[in-house]
Structure 1
Amino acid sequence: MINTHSNIFLVGPMGSGKSTIGRILAEILDLKFIDLDCEIEERCGANISWIFDMEGEDGFRKRESRMLAELASGTGMVLATGGGAVIFEKNRNVLKNSGYVVYLSAPVGQLLERTSHDRSRPLLNVSNPREVLKQLVLDRELLYQEIADLVFVTSKRKPWLVANEIANEVRQFLG
């Protein structure tokens, strides 16, 4: 059991396991789980793809920043961010100052495998999603590293194993 006033934020590229591992981690630590993208969709009444189509990536990122700031002001949660939530410095500051940040990393091939059948990822609805993922990881790697309290490579490991290992690390840190 950890301090229920603590927040754990999961960051990393799409397909790294933030939502899957986050749900398990929240259950292990007896915290609530929130998926930032799902929360945006629920509050807007529209899916992420539609928001991208109507408002562009910039419009989506503004919504994401507002929602992140609102949610991070709460406590006792595991929050899975979207892969691009770290783009804006203000978002990185919110994450770093509001909880324990875990960067989930995975090789591009693994990310591609995990996202290949998911058509709800607007940035990957292109002819060469591998190149997009490679570029996104390259562009964002230092931003993830900058705010991470813990870096964890998920690779081909079972989500419950990863969640248990992260829970052990978090318990030591947050006690």
Structure 2
Amino acid sequence: MKKPSVGPVYRSRFAENGFPAPVSGMDSCWDIFRISVEKYPDNPMLGRRQIVDGKAGKYVWQTYKEVYDIGGKCGIYGANCAEWIMTMEACNAHGLSCVPLCWCCEFIICHAEVSIAFVEEKKIAELFKTFPNSTKYLRTIVSFGKVAPDQKEEAEKHGLAIFTWEEFLQLTASNISHEFRLKHLL
């Protein structure tokens, strides 16, 4: 039997003589983000390249404070993007579990009892393939992109609410009823 290969062990120069003591008050991912917002509210945090005439243009940045103000309201399915990070930070803010969804999303939704899914636009169809089993738990879908009329119809046929990212932000910013929150968002 061969021995597994072993390479050198690297350690940060900050931990040369052991690991440093944890920073007081920084106990979770949310604390790291919150403290960064407090210290660097106007620094750029998330950037996205504008596509103009099919070509990548300049980055448009959102500051730590802008991202913080958007975050607030929990499977996530799709490629990393600004909305993905904002969703994760909102989960952290409220002590919610952020569950990544993948090719076996039906199993994950049902096993983790995911009630709200934030999805990349092109993954909506994949999520629909989990119906009707996942609708025992799933109540709301939020698309990072557009929602086609037939997708809205399909979701509603199964008793789910479906929103674009912008629609969802408007919902959470407005004074929606407690009954709606319980039925669709929790």
Shorter-chain TM-score bucket reads 0.3 to 0.5
Bigger Rg, structure 1 or 2: 2
- Select the structure that is richer in helix: 1
- TM-score under structure 1 normalisation? 0.38
- TM-score under structure 2 normalisation? 0.36
- Select the structure that is richer in strand: 2
